[in-house]
Structure 1
Amino acid sequence: MSESVYQVLLIDDDEDDYIVTQDLLQEAEQASFELTWVETYQDGLEALNANLHDVYLLDYCLGAETGLDLLQAAVEAGLRKPIILLTGLGNYDIDRQSMAMGASDYLVKGNQLTGPLLERSILHAIERSQAEAQIHLLTHVLQSIQDGVYMATEAGELLFLNQSLRQLCACPVQPVFDKTLDPLEYPILQQLLSQGNRQNCHTKKSSILKTELFLESSPGLSRTILLSESWVKVQQNTLRFGLIHDITERTQAELERDRFFNIAIDLLFIANVDGIFKRINPSWYATLGYTVDELLNQSFWEFMLPADQSSRQNLQDTLTKGKEVNSLEIRVRAKDGSYKWIAWNLVPFPQENLLYGSGRDITQSKASEARLTYETLHDSLTGLDNRVCSLNRLEIAINNQRRRPYEHFAVLFVDLDNFKHINDSLGHLAGDQLLIQVAERLKTVVRGVDAVARLGGDEFLILLEKLTNLNDALKTVYRLQQELQKPFHLESREIFTSASIGIVFSDLSYQSVNEIIRDADIAMYRAKSQGKASYAVFDQEMYLQTLHLVETESALRKAVRNKEFRLYYQPLVNLKSPHQLQGFEVLLRWHHPDKGFISASDFIPIAEETGQIKFIDKWVLRTACEQLKTWQIEGKAEEGLYISINLSGQQFRDPSLIQELDIILAETQLDPQCLKLEITESSLIHEIQSAKKIMESIRNRGVELSLDDFGTGFSSLRYLQQFPISTIKIDRSFVEGLQNCERNLRIISAIVNLAKALGFKTIAEGIESQEQLIELQILACDASQGYLFAKPLSATEVENYLPQCMTGT
């Protein structure tokens, strides 16, 4: 007996029937049953809805209702468990009606109903119910899958179509098992079944049909499907089971892939894992000239040049691991013998034992990249190395000497003399042509191991390598100077130029390129200060001087901001007794916070070179005018007392000088006649007419002008008489040797006589002795200044000095 215990519910209003049924079930031999009993229709309906039993036994008579009523209620509620109807009457109509309504069996109570019969009916009902449940589940699965499924007889009579196939064939929705659907009415079904008929006529129904079909499911809508049909023997019948997989999208994708494969500009290929070509696209012919027949069964790796073969094994190892290789740039030899740069992307597909590759022709971009690299490292005008390239070469030279200290190098910093004048007078095009010709000459002088670069403008840098000593570099410098002294021909003109050259000879103390360029630049400026066509070899003294210049420039900037300058006033006295005070020359001193007082001669040249003099000059002019006006207001200075202020060359040429002078005089309310401005000869020798206009503008405002340091520069009597000056100051260098040098005496005498002839007054600078005073008085010099009368005085000292002058003491 089976170990299964089935739960049975009896719905019967007669308790005797319950007892009889229980006795019958105890006679069961194949299974065990546990019987539960309810006696009313309502209790039975609730039990059916609870669905807790394996099988239900319904008595036909249930009071006012019948078992058929209860059966109908159970079916409508969706109960799928087996139901057996019991009745005391053997009525065929009731039997047929109950079976039609969904009963599993119909049994007549009484002597004819035995235990084995009841057991067999229950077990068969349970088996049928389970089979129907499995069929229902299978049908649900078949209906829910996307692939089409059908079942048909050998003759082509349809037994089943799932919904996917119905939609594909445009069939109406039918019951699951439907023998009324005529394939002749639906061309797609007819086409599918006919494929199976043709196939199996040849194979004697022993194989599975697999074929690809093109179907038109509706006008204008076509599909591509993959049909798989099996013929299966079931008892005495042969059934056909078909599976239709819609491959339209896949087929379309394959077509698009093939179309792309054929029209792609890039070189495409499919190869096996060893790189043997299985398929290539037409771009191979367009790019490299190879036909399909020439490439098939050839190896991709054979297209790598010998120089690239060293990386082949690593690439193959990478692909074997299933990893992609991207942006592999190699040169490939074309059929015509030329070479193309191709950038490859290689993708392995180990599951297919295939290698996919795409290559893009980057020959033009490589050429552009090379051209861009060249332009990045070379001067566009001369074709020489540019600053970036030259600094890179110099860095390499420094590193090479560290490894081989016995091999030296030298750097020549070359700057053309008077190039600006040539460029401005002949034009920039001529200037460019001159630079090009200079570059060509420089290249002819140096060796193959040397390098010539243009840093910018008219500056060139030459790197001489593999030298034994400094003399090797100097020999090249001599040749350079000789070559550059030859005439240049520009636009039918013969032009001459020269160059100032700074030289740095290598030693192990240099740690950076910037240090060498700095020192070469310093040496070049030293050469330029020596005159045209000169050279200078850098030494430590040059560096210290330059360092002093840089430090002084920085300190000057701070001095302007921190107001570290002081004004001193040196008396200007009449040489005629009683040596009356006429005014003061304003002198500038720098009170450095660390170095103390610094003389103007030590910092003014640096201030002029760095441009700081502009701010200093304005401060001096305003401060001195304010100071004199203050003394006048306080009654400490007489009305005729004046101050004499030096104008630097930059201040004199400053376009804003006149406007600045007007503002200061207006704001300080100082009488212009109390102000004199001193100008050196060097400020006047350039642009004479412009200088004359500036001086006239100053003189028109009532401010007198003095010519300072007369006799030390280039004095032209022609221009001297044109300048609106009132005073000539005789330089101290003539006064110092006055009593011991007859020549100085004659020079001063000539200057005084010249001044008187032109209507100028004279002031002698630097009188320190009584003997000098007597000589100058004899020469009829008008006034003087010097330590004999007073040293330069601070503002406070002037305030103590002025009362003495007013009392004549």
Structure 2
Amino acid sequence: MMSHPTGSEQQSLFHAALLECINMDFSHLDQALRQIVLSDAKVTGAARVSVWLYDEQRTGITCRMQFVKGGGEPADTGVFLPTDSYPAYFEAVENSRVVAADDAQNDPRTAELGGYLREYGIRSLLDVAVRSQGRNLGVLCHEHLGPARAWTTRDMEFAVSMADMVSLALEMDLRRKAESRLSAALEQFTTLARTAGDAIITIDGQGNVSFWNQGAQKLFGRDAQYMMGRPLMEIMPERFRELHKHGFETFRTSGLLRHAGEVLELAALDQNGREFPVELTLASWEAGGECFVTGIVRDITERKTAEAALRDANEKLEARVLERTRELDLALEDLASAKQQLQLILDGAGEGILGIDRHGLIGFANPAACQMVGYPPDGLLGRSPHRMLHHTRPDGKTNPEEHCRVAETLKDGERRSSSEEVFYRSDGSHFPVEYNVAPLLNGSGIHGAVMVFKDITERKRHEAVLKHQAFHDALTGLPNRAMLLDRLQKALDRVRKAQSPGLCLMFLDLDDFKLVNDSLGHTLGDELLVQFATRLSGRLPGNALMARLGGDEFAVLVEDAGDEESVLTLARQLLARLSGPMSVRDYRLYVSACIGMVSGCRGYDTPEDILRDADTAMYKAKTRGKGELMLFDRPMHEEARKRLDIETGLRHAVRQGAFELHYQPLFRLQDGGFAGFEALIRWPDPKGGGLIPPMSFIPVAEQTGLISPIGDWVLRQACRDIAAWSEAYPSLDRFFVAVNLSGKQFMEPGLARSITEVIRAGGVSPGRLKLEITETEVMQNPDVGIQVLTELKNADISLFVDDFGTGYSSLSYLRRLPIDGLKVDRSFVAAMIEDKASLAIVRAVVDLARNMDLTVVAEGVETREQHDTLKGLGCDLGQGWLYARPLGPAAAAAYLEGVARSMAG
């Protein structure tokens, strides 16, 4: 029978192993995995501890590192288990992460591993999925020999912590490899970027832009942030794209880059879609196992213009020489020459030109006119332009001949123009035109007219694109807010006129989308929004319109909606549609959304009011959790108005500084001595009636962005009070004041510099001020949090992590945080007398802090029993109603005066 640590021995080993792994060297993956399996085996007593990792295709897992008790040093065995041979086992690991099988050979989750288990005499299994960013990377396996072993909660918690350590080691190994590849690529790019001030562009093996210098940004009018990851063909005219695609495919398959080193003259597109000539030089290179192509592009518009001007000057010079020579000829020859030049002009013009006689028939058609309408010259001559070209309006109705502008000009001699007609080609197709009709006059009156027209298809297309852009979202292609409000207004008008039974508006907002942007980047966040829009819009009925309002906010308008139950059913179907994962690049993301709805809408005057109330219902749904649905009712409107009143009052209070700071004393638990205060903001009700509870206005302040100026006021007022008390009671030279930082303040740029300036302006020693930030805010973005905390620490400001105790997920980062202390969340203090689990958490936090030389503060101490327990555990400081309630400014000063007298006596 194998022995394993139990009781207090296991607890001691648990803490020691965690600290040992947190402080180990992660620079070598094999060394880190060896340390993890050794520490794991020491604590759990398992006969075999191993790390198994998925291959790239996820066809199975390979034993990357295994420790066998009595078998020497841990080693990479290379044993492979295919996933399709053990479907039940891999499904269990994927879904529940922890698989604890006391009798593994008979447990349905692990029974299919029977051959492997019997071969090595394995009776019990404790397997934990190694996860990173929501994706399983492998399994941390614990194998017990001999009689069945009942795995305890403590065994499982420790195993999860060790699996997280494996995940951390893998992430750091991947980061080192990526940094190595990036360094090589950057060296190449730096060399190229220094060669010239021209545009330098690099595309990767998929033909997408991976480097875009300032010269490219200036030349093409597109910034690097926009172009990164986009196909290079976006800046090419259509006629070059197929050639580029074929040449690039040849390069990608053979590595042979045609025209490498040659100077090519091509055309490119600027930001407005206009072509301009460029000179291009190409080179290929490789980095990190991937091939790249870099081009140096130069605008040669001026050179081409100069060449054209030179050709034009030569032509003009030749024409001038010819003209001067022919001045000696007869007047008839001069007239023939002039006529010839006029014919050349007409033939070379890009616009269609028709000469029309006094009877309204075509007497002349230049080549451009014939080409545009598809008739040979003899097919137009002697024919009516109206009957041939614009006999029908754009809407398909007949265009009366008496309304023809040519006929009207021949009657009255007035110039006319049009840009709202179409001309018909010989094949029956038509195209939009813009034309002018001018009379030909002589002394006897009107003897004809000239019609000049041009094809405006491209202009109309561009106008249509602009119109589409004005009413559609650029990212998702969905209708935007402007189109939604327009459709909503029309639907509301139909409801008012009893032409529609009603309408429904749904306001959708993604849950935790900010976390996706902050952790995975805005580019991936944009791709997620596109998938979200595609998944939902494709399942809407024909009477529904989905629009993107901005950010992660969407709306669905259902016209001619039936009863409330039908639209509620549709909303539930949309939420159910989001239940499956979305694959974005290499990530599988689970997305949910909250929906606020307004149904019926008969009592509304404007579409903005409907959108406002749907937003209010969505906000209410958000307060209930993720993936919630809420139908608007009038109480919500009142609640929104109250929230608006609070927001309005808060803005006035911020401008006037109409807040108070109350101070709750903190005491040293070991000797009962006064240690300092925690500053707590209070807002006196401007209408009378005492203080407005913080929970009534702090959430509003966070949502509206007012928390930053409020937090700044708290910091400045606390410094003023510290300075005043220090001057009034010089004998109290060691007390401090703790001030809470909001998450928004914590992430503001230049936080350490601004706080240092406030402290210096207030004449306060940095040691008198302690800043508190919650564990949740720090762990939302650990790397940024560590950087900010380090800057504050370098300014000699003491730092405490508030509400500590959310779990072991942050232990790997805790040792990196430059902090001075931890504050145990009041929920654990309140429950620790009755709840052994809460007591164990408090004890673990105190032990952890002691090992890391940190101060521990217990919040919410309200009973003597809690005080005695905390003191026995070795907790440093405590605060709560057992000692004192928060004190107003005057009461806090009086309290300090009493402390000073007691010290003097």
Distance 2:419 2:840 in 1: 91
* Contact kept in structure 1, 2:354 and 2:369, CA below 8 Å: no
Matches within 5 A, 1:740-779: 743=834, 747=838, 751=842, 755=846, 759=850, 763=858, 765=860, 767=862, 772-773=863-864, 776-777=867-868
Equivalent in the alignment of 2:459: 365
The code of the aligned residue for 1:290 comes to Y
Does 2:609 correspond to 1:515?
yes
Distance 1:430 1:800 in 2: 57
Equivalent in the alignment of 2:11: none
Does 2:677 correspond to 1:584?
yes
* Contact kept in structure 2, 1:557 and 1:612, CA below 8 Å: yes
What SS does structure 2 have at the residue aligned with 1:309? coil
Give the C-alpha shift of residue 507 in structure 1.
0.8
Does 2:398 correspond to 1:309?
yes
The partner residue of 1:335 within 378, 402, 426 is 426
Distance 1:332 1:689 in 2: 65
Equivalent in the alignment of 1:504: 598
Unaligned runs of 5+ in 2: 1-325
Equivalent in the alignment of 1:731: 826
The partner residue of 2:371 within 273, 276, 286 is 286
- 1:116-172 deviation per Cα after TM superposition (whole angstroms, max 9, x unaligned): xxxxxxxxxxxxxxxxxxxxxxxxxxxxxxxxxxxxxxxxxxxxxxxxxxxxxxxxx
Distance 2:366 2:856 in 1: 101
Q: Residues 367 and 608 from structure 1, CA distance in 2 versus in 1: closer, same or farther, beyond 3 angstroms?
A: closer
What SS does structure 2 have at the residue aligned with 1:385? coil
Equivalent in the alignment of 2:277: none
The code of the aligned residue for 2:488 comes to L
Unaligned runs of 5+ in 1: 1-217, 225-247
Give the C-alpha shift of residue 327 in structure 1.
1.6
Distance 2:848 2:430 in 1: 90
Does 2:715 correspond to 1:621?
yes
The partner residue of 1:220 within 312, 316, 328 is 328
* Contact kept in structure 2, 1:269 and 1:279, CA below 8 Å: yes
- 1:281-323 deviation per Cα after TM superposition (whole angstroms, max 9, x unaligned): 5544332233454444433332334435355444579544554
The code of the aligned residue for 1:337 comes to G
* Contact kept in structure 1, 2:491 and 2:559, CA below 8 Å: yes
Distance 2:576 2:735 in 1: 61
Q: Residues 625 and 372 from structure 1, CA distance in 2 versus in 1: closer, same or farther, beyond 3 angstroms?
A: closer
Matches within 5 A, 1:83-232: 220=328, 222-223=330-331
Matches within 5 A, 1:247-326: 264-271=349-356, 275-278=360-363, 280-303=365-388, 304-306=390-392, 307-310=396-399, 312-315=401-404, 319=409, 320-326=411-417
* Contact kept in structure 1, 2:597 and 2:618, CA below 8 Å: yes
Give the C-alpha shift of residue 696 in structure 1.
7.5
* Contact kept in structure 2, 1:423 and 1:431, CA below 8 Å: yes
The partner residue of 2:493 within 380, 399, 419 is 399
Equivalent in the alignment of 2:164: none
Distance 1:423 1:690 in 2: 14
Does 2:571 correspond to 1:477?
yes
Q: State the percentage of identical aligned residues.
A: 30
Q: What's the Cα RMSD here?
A: 4.6
What SS does structure 2 have at the residue aligned with 1:410? strand
* Contact kept in structure 2, 1:329 and 1:344, CA below 8 Å: no
Equivalent in the alignment of 1:607: 701
* Contact kept in structure 2, 1:710 and 1:731, CA below 8 Å: no
Q: Residues 658 and 513 from structure 1, CA distance in 2 versus in 1: closer, same or farther, beyond 3 angstroms?
A: same
The code of the aligned residue for 2:422 comes to R
Q: Residues 297 and 517 from structure 1, CA distance in 2 versus in 1: closer, same or farther, beyond 3 angstroms?
A: same
Distance 2:400 2:890 in 1: 87
* Contact kept in structure 2, 1:348 and 1:355, CA below 8 Å: yes
Matches within 5 A, 1:271-670: 271=356, 275-278=360-363, 280-303=365-388, 304-306=390-392, 307-310=396-399, 312-315=401-404, 319=409, 320-347=411-438, 351-352=445-446, 354-404=448-498, 406-417=500-511, 434-491=528-585, 495-572=589-666, 581-591=674-684, 593-594=686-687, 597-635=691-729, 638-652=732-746, 656-660=750-754, 662-666=756-760, 668=762, 670=764
Distance 1:430 1:705 in 2: 34
Give the C-alpha shift of residue 729 in structure 1.
5.5
Give the C-alpha shift of residue 339 in structure 1.
1.8
Distance 2:627 2:345 in 1: 70
Give the C-alpha shift of residue 445 in structure 1.
0.9
* Contact kept in structure 2, 1:646 and 1:678, CA below 8 Å: yes
* Contact kept in structure 2, 1:734 and 1:744, CA below 8 Å: no
What SS does structure 2 have at the residue aligned with 1:445? coil
Equivalent in the alignment of 2:889: 795
- 1:684-725 deviation per Cα after TM superposition (whole angstroms, max 9, x unaligned): 4445576577667767877655554566x5577957985755
So what's the TM-score if we normalise by structure 1? 0.57
- 1:766-795 deviation per Cα after TM superposition (whole angstroms, max 9, x unaligned): 64xxxx347645774876655676543333
Q: Residues 220 and 796 from structure 1, CA distance in 2 versus in 1: closer, same or farther, beyond 3 angstroms?
A: same
- 1:743-775 deviation per Cα after TM superposition (whole angstroms, max 9, x unaligned): 2699579747964895555555364xxxx3476
Distance 1:433 1:506 in 2: 34
The total of aligned residue pairs comes to 559
* Contact kept in structure 2, 1:274 and 1:299, CA below 8 Å: no
Distance 1:569 1:638 in 2: 16
Give the C-alpha shift of residue 468 in structure 1.
1.5
The code of the aligned residue for 2:536 comes to L
What SS does structure 2 have at the residue aligned with 1:275? coil
* Contact kept in structure 1, 2:510 and 2:592, CA below 8 Å: yes
Give the C-alpha shift of residue 655 in structure 1.
5.9
The code of the aligned residue for 2:834 comes to R
The code of the aligned residue for 2:398 comes to Q
Q: Residues 260 and 625 from structure 1, CA distance in 2 versus in 1: closer, same or farther, beyond 3 angstroms?
A: closer
Q: Residues 693 and 363 from structure 1, CA distance in 2 versus in 1: closer, same or farther, beyond 3 angstroms?
A: closer
* Contact kept in structure 2, 1:681 and 1:714, CA below 8 Å: no
Q: Residues 744 and 660 from structure 1, CA distance in 2 versus in 1: closer, same or farther, beyond 3 angstroms?
A: farther
Equivalent in the alignment of 2:142: none
Give the C-alpha shift of residue 467 in structure 1.
1.2
Q: Residues 334 and 667 from structure 1, CA distance in 2 versus in 1: closer, same or farther, beyond 3 angstroms?
A: closer
* Contact kept in structure 1, 2:662 and 2:887, CA below 8 Å: yes
What SS does structure 1 have at the residue aligned with 2:559? strand
* Contact kept in structure 2, 1:487 and 1:494, CA below 8 Å: yes
Q: Residues 621 and 423 from structure 1, CA distance in 2 versus in 1: closer, same or farther, beyond 3 angstroms?
A: closer
Distance 2:678 2:337 in 1: 102
* Contact kept in structure 2, 1:708 and 1:731, CA below 8 Å: no
